[in-house]
Amino acid sequence: MTPFTYARAEDAAAAVRLLGERARSKYLGGGTNLVDLMRETIERPEALVDVSGLCRRIEARDDGGIRIGAAATNTAVAADHAVRRRFPMLARAILSGASGQIRNMATVGGNILQRTRCHYFYDDAARCNKRTPGAGCDAIGGFNRMHAILGASPACVATHPSDMCVALAALDAEVQVEGPSGRRAVKLVDLHHLPGDRPDFETGLAAGELITAVEIPPLAMARRSAYRKVRDRASYAFALVSVAAAIEVGADGTVADLRIALGGVAHKPWRAWTAEAALRGRPATADGFRAAADAELHEARGLRDNAFKIELARRLVVHTLRELVEGDRS
């Protein structure tokens, strides 16, 4: 057993003060990922600062946006009336991500910062650059069905496991952070890093920084949005591929605006900027959707066990966009 100290913070400033900048200290929210990692001795924090009682409020703003406290549970967010009405893709992503028991405990901040579910990362007998920099990556030559097809590197092919973050990436969400150097905001799409040669550097958070809230800007077309997830089993498995999408089609049948993000394909929630650019101003047709998906996946590279994900992602993008457009016409 690894000994650690425990303290409960009364507010964000107290949490930052209690944690300081100690590398081996951790904030504790719902604990649905961190406690598992501690049990497997992958994480060995010397101190835990409990922030589960902080920043729980979900605030629907007058401009159509929403501010979600980082300690709000996944259940509370998915059930919130404003979230379900304004950003249904977010509620659907959360509901597809875990069982009710886990959603009742898991927090928004913890969901954003959860670590990969790569089984080589969890196996301390395996080589893993994310766990031990310079050790190597056994996933590349091992069983890699669940692993990345976009943005991977020779150092790491792990994927980010969150469903919620895929929807947040599509919605241009911004993460509010408080730390020893003060407060700042980070775009969700910029928070997580691709692996490069240092996959252990997972986010852009500095030592001691705490996520306090997530802000989603107004996006009228998101009221008709979708989250689709393909997985190996229906009961709360991690995504092989997922898609969060919203699309606005003009009276002339061309795409006025859209948002697309992919999950299960990369080290971070993958915003499909190339596909979006390829579709804006173009006819909203299946052929156009397929060409846009092809453009986004042009740099995708499969491994021995996961090359099927490339075609799966292409089909899921086309299916999701067609479903949204045809639903608008019905």
Q: Sort strands 25-28 and 47-50 into parallel, antiparallel or unpaired.
A: parallel
What radius of gyration, in Å, describes the C-alpha atoms of the chain?
20
In sequence order, the β-bridge partners of residue 112 are: none
Average pLDDT estimate for 240-258: 97
* Residue 107 pLDDT > 60: yes
Mean pLDDT of 59-82: 97
Determine how many CB atoms are found less than 10 A away from the CB of residue 252. Answer: 8
- Give the residue-averaged pLDDT of 262-275: 98
Average of pLDDT values for 66-86?
A: 97
Q: What is the pLDDT of residues 164-182, one digit of tens each?
A: 999 999 999 999 999 999 9
**pLDDT, average across residues 239-265:** 97
Residues 289-309 pLDDT 10s: 999 999 999 999 999 999 999
Which amino acid would we find at residue 11?
D
CA distances from 279 to 11, 30, 168, 218 (A): 45, 40, 21, 21
User: Over 80: is that where the pLDDT of 21 sits?
Assistant: no
Q: Which residue has the tokens 């928070």?
A: 191
Q: What pTM, to 2 d.p., does this model score?
A: 0.95
- Dist. CA 76–CA 112, nearest whole Å: 16
Domains in the chain: ranges and CATH: 224-329 (3.30.390.50)
Residue bearing the bigger pLDDT, 20 or 189: 189
Nearest to 320 by CA among 267, 259, 271: 259
Tens of pLDDT, residue by residue over 221-245, are: 999 999 999 999 877 889 999 999 9
Helices (DSSP H) in 187-307: which residue ranges? 188-191, 273-279, 286-296
What is the pLDDT, as a whole number, of residue 149?
98
Overall average pLDDT of the 133-140 stretch: 96
In this prediction, residue 20 has a pLDDT band, given cuts at 50, 70 and 90, of confident
Q: Is residue 241 a contact partner of residue 263, using CB atoms and an 8 Å limit?
A: yes
CA distances from 116 to 8, 90, 147, 169 (A): 26, 20, 10, 17
280, pLDDT greater than 50: yes
Return d(Cα 271, Cα 68) in angstroms, integer: 21
Which is nearest to 131 in space by CA: 33, 195, 200? Answer: 200
Percentage, residues of the chain above pLDDT 90? 85
What is the sign, positive or negative, of the torsion defined by CA atoms of 214, 7, 42, 36?
negative
The reported pLDDT for the residue numbered 51 is: 93
Confidence at residue 233, expressed as pLDDT on a 0 to 100 scale: 85
The residue behind tokens 């990362």 is 121
**pLDDT value of position 330:** 42
CA-to-CA distance for 73 and 91, rounded, in angstroms? Answer: 12
Average pLDDT, the chain: 94
Give the Å distances, CA to CA, from 155 to 91, 136, 148, 158, 200: 34, 7, 12, 10, 10
If you ran DSSP here, which 8-state letter would residue 24 be given?
Answer: T
